[in-house]
A and B are shown apart, each in its own frame.
Chain A
Amino acid sequence: MIPLLLRLSAGIDAINRMVGRSCIWLILASILISAGNAWTRKLFDASSNAWLEIQWYLFAAAFLGAAGYTLLVNEHVRIDALSQRFSARARAWVDLLAFLVLVLPFCGLLIYLGHELFWRAWVSGEMSHNAGGLIRWPVYLALPVGFVLLFLQVVSEIIKRGAWLAGHRTRSQDSEADLPPLRIGGAAPQEGGR
């Protein structure tokens, strides 16, 4: 049972690593487009609502898409003034319980609400109210998709904490340093993490 769960967790981690690390290009595109918008408006007197809207489409997709990855590398900030005095086991228990009882329902709710939002926009073909604006469903889709990824990662983290508490894993959670570094070509040795 536990090896199976750990394989599930490793699979989820791999998916979120891939998706999260792809999101960096959305951020870069958003930066370049935003800077470009300012220049073209000033230099060529041209302005397009589509180009203005794509900025926040890209950013929204990036931060929702990377939410699972950020959890994977444990970089959603915590207030650790008190909890750093707990034992490592106590911290793992707190995470495990909170993730299971509180965070999973939250993700579930947003998946449900987000999918409704997306579905309505998809069926109605809702467009931006701005002239020349973009169609809405792609950015609405980012909401349920992002929360599905986060939901999966929460599941994976629960498995990891549990497996560690039961003595089946050497680390209770991972950090960026445990993953293979992000390098061009991408194919750094898969198991070569420090």
Chain B
Amino acid sequence: MMEWIMANMAPIMFASLALFLISGIPVAFALASCGLLFAFIGIELDMLPPSLMQALPLRVLGIMANETLLAIPFFTFMGLVLQRSGMAEDLLETVGQVFGAMRGGLALAVVVVGSLLAATTGVVAASIIAMGLISMPIMLRYGYDRRVASGVITAAGSLAQVVPPSLVLIVMADQLGRSVGEMYAGALLPALMLIGAYAALVIVLAILFPKMLPALPPEALIYKEPDGGSGLRSLALLALVSVGAGWLALRFYPLVLQAVDRNVDAPKDELVMVALAGGVLFAFLAALVDSVTRLGLLSTIARRVAFVLIPPLLLIFLVLGTIFVGIATPTEGGAMGAVGALVLAVVRRRLDINQCMDALLATTKLSTFVMFILLGATVFSLTFQAVDGNLWVEHLFDQLPGGSTGFLIAVTAMVFILGFFLDFFEIAFILLPLLAPIADKLGIDLIWFGVLIGINLQTSFLTPPFGFALFYLRSVAPAEDYVDAESGKTIARVTTGQIYAGAVPFIAIQVVLLGLIIAFPQLVIGDRAFEQKIKLAPGVITDRMRNLQPGGGYKAPEMDMDALFGTPPGTAPAPEAAPAMPPEPAPAEKR
């Protein structure tokens, strides 16, 4: 009996963890106490050294000093401030008005707004609830097919798993030991493809089944010009001129680079960012000038779009742009985004001190539970590795046929099923540290692996009957027939079956995209523009070095804490190494 236990310590420990987790005690404590219990058993059985737990404080310190994880409160706070200052509501209303006049317009608006919310707030529950409360009743009022309406909301609302600069990608990068910049760059194209595919599906449906996605009737369009026109022509003109401005920004960007002594060709992703930011900034300034001088050149809806749609876009560019260009680390990018969101909310008088404190309190609690899951996972992994659990997991996957493909299929299936029960953070902190080394050994690109897991999780959140996204929508969609206040008509309830059915075409899109990414890894890896920038452009690095020299006092990076005390597996490399350097250059040096 004893022998059997000792020989099978790792599987027994893993099974116990599953038991602890489903018993419903807090995840952090389940992980920690499982680790501690088996450390105790192992020490009693003379399997493990009594000093095992002595390694714990330094691992905890590694978590405390992890610069990347600092991004968790920053991005959370940014999202909460945007959410509480009513961004989702404003966006849905305005974008709905822009597209509303055409068939399928409201559904398109949900896709656009869902993507923006995913990038900025990154909270699936909040996005879906906002869209379910605001867009759903409007779509139902004007006769949208219920399945289409709920499908588009759940799919667009769960995009947060994959759209940069979402927090999910930061934590993923940290757990995979890769730079956040690479992760963003890798996820960018797949995310855009997903959004594009959602929009395409909506458009195709609107063409094939006009009755399922009707246009808003004229009386529902609230932004009208004095002469009765829609003002959309003015908006189109503004958009066109802004594209021109973006193009100009692209043309003059090299001159700017020369002016700041960076004589290098900027990589593609940076150029795209500059062009977009230039165009968007121009549109905003134009609307501002028009509104301040009361010129009246722009229509109501054009001004409205400029003032509502552009601030969140600018925030995304601020965060992504500073990270891609190398001005800021992802953590600092998040902090700037948070400050930007705060400034926006205050300028628009949408946030008072009490709401701000509530947002801070919610941020504090979320960061605490996330960091404690990580702490618990550390205790667990300390013991799990001591009983050779990582070898056991590796061995499990060894027996699979098909090498790296077999591994990927097994992981995909596993993550998909676990996604029904576990949230992202649990999967990231418990599963990724076990899987990443195996993937790495099999020669799987970890960025590609991470993006696959992200899309996979999103699919899982969408899949009936367990998907989280479906539950969130169910909680706000009308469960009883109701009388619509605006039209006076009785509107039938949305059944759970309709919510499930609505998700199906979107799941199909997810599966096709997953297949595409598996078949064509270059969609994620691309030409590794990001890495090349670092390799080919020492300018970024020397620029940074120069910044550090004149202040005096900066000495060469010290030996990092992990090197001194042993690397905690699964945590990011070198929390303290050269804190003044952005983490981006690290991967290039690693190879």
Collect the chain B residues with CB atoms within 8 Å of residue A64's CB.
64
Q: Answer yes or no: A98 CB below 8 A from chain B CBs.
A: yes
Q: In the bound complex, do residue B372 and residue A67 qualify as a contact, i.e. CB atoms below 8 Å apart?
A: yes
CB-contacts of A9-25 with B (<8 A): 20-21, 23-25
Q: Answer yes or no: A70 CB below 8 A from chain B CBs.
A: yes
Q: In the bound complex, do residue B57 and residue A117 qualify as a contact, i.e. CB atoms below 8 Å apart?
A: yes
Task: Give Cα distance in the complex from A114 to B328, angstroms.
Answer: 33
CB-contacts of B37-89 with A (<8 A): 37, 53-54, 56-57, 60-61, 64-67, 70, 73-74, 77
Over the window 82-113 of chain A, the binary record of Cβ atoms lying under 8 Å from chain B Cβ atoms (1 yes, 0 no) is 11101000010011001100110110011001
Collect the chain A residues with CB atoms within 8 Å of residue B354's CB.
181-184
Over the window 53-80 of chain A, the binary record of Cβ atoms lying under 8 Å from chain B Cβ atoms (1 yes, 0 no) is 1011001101110110111010111111
Q: Answer yes or no: A168 CB below 8 A from chain B CBs.
A: no
Q: Answer yes or no: A52 CB below 8 A from chain B CBs.
A: yes
Q: Answer yes or no: B501 CB below 8 A from chain A CBs.
A: no
Q: In the bound complex, do residue A77 and residue B373 qualify as a contact, i.e. CB atoms below 8 Å apart?
A: yes
Q: In the bound complex, do residue B27 and residue A79 qualify as a contact, i.e. CB atoms below 8 Å apart?
A: yes
Q: Answer yes or no: B548 CB below 8 A from chain A CBs.
A: yes
Over the window 345-360 of chain B, the binary record of Cβ atoms lying under 8 Å from chain A Cβ atoms (1 yes, 0 no) is 0000000011001101
Q: Which residue of A lies closest to B340 (CB)?
A: A35
Collect the chain A residues with CB atoms within 8 Å of residue B487's CB.
none
Known: A20-B364, A183-B354. A35 touches B580 (CB 8 A): no
In-complex Cβ contact of B26 among A30, A78, A143 (8 A) = A78
Known: A116-B57, A184-B353. A79 touches B24 (CB 8 A): yes
Collect the chain A residues with CB atoms within 8 Å of residue B27's CB.
76-79
Q: Answer yes or no: B489 CB below 8 A from chain A CBs.
A: no
Q: Which residue of B lies closest to A56 (CB)?
A: B65
Collect the chain A residues with CB atoms within 8 Å of residue B546's CB.
45
Number of interface residues of A (CB under 8 A): 77
Q: Which residue of A lies closest to B369 (CB)?
A: A76
Task: Give Cα distance in the complex from A32 to B358, angstroms.
Answer: 17
Q: Answer yes or no: B332 CB below 8 A from chain A CBs.
A: yes
Known: A35-B339, A67-B372. A55 touches B70 (CB 8 A): yes
Which has the most chain A C-beta neighbours within 10 Å: B25, B77, B548? B25
In-complex Cβ contact of A31 among B33, B77, B425 (8 A) = B77
Task: Give Cα distance in the complex from A70 to B238, angstroms.
Answer: 48
Number of interface residues of B (CB under 8 A): 77
Task: Give Cα distance in the complex from A98 to B372, angstroms.
Answer: 17
In-complex Cβ contact of B64 among A41, A56, A83 (8 A) = A56
In-complex Cβ contact of A52 among B360, B365, B579 (8 A) = B579
Q: In the bound complex, do residue A27 and residue B77 qualify as a contact, i.e. CB atoms below 8 Å apart?
A: yes
Task: Give Cα distance in the complex from A48 to B338, angstroms.
Answer: 22
In-complex Cβ contact of B56 among A46, A105, A110, A129 (8 A) = A110
Known: A31-B73, A34-B335, A77-B423. A49 touches B367 (CB 8 A): no
Q: In the bound complex, do residue A38 and residue B322 qualify as a contact, i.e. CB atoms below 8 Å apart?
A: yes
Over the window 363-400 of chain B, the binary record of Cβ atoms lying under 8 Å from chain A Cβ atoms (1 yes, 0 no) is 11101110111000001000000000000000000000
21 residue pairs of the A-B complex, CB under 8 angstroms, read: A24-B360, A27-B360, A27-B367, A28-B360, A30-B74, A35-B336, A38-B327, A39-B336, A69-B368, A75-B369, A76-B28, A77-B425, A77-B426, A79-B24, A79-B426, A98-B20, A106-B29, A109-B36, A109-B56, A117-B57, A131-B553
Task: Give me 13 other A-B pairs in contact (C-beta within 8 A), A75-B365, A79-B422 excluded.
Answer: A27-B367, A30-B73, A31-B73, A34-B335, A39-B336, A56-B64, A70-B369, A76-B368, A78-B27, A81-B22, A109-B36, A116-B57, A128-B576
Q: What are the 8 tightest A-B residue pairs by CB atom distance, in nearest-first order?
A: A83-B24, A102-B33, A34-B335, A76-B26, A24-B360, A38-B332, A60-B64, A129-B558
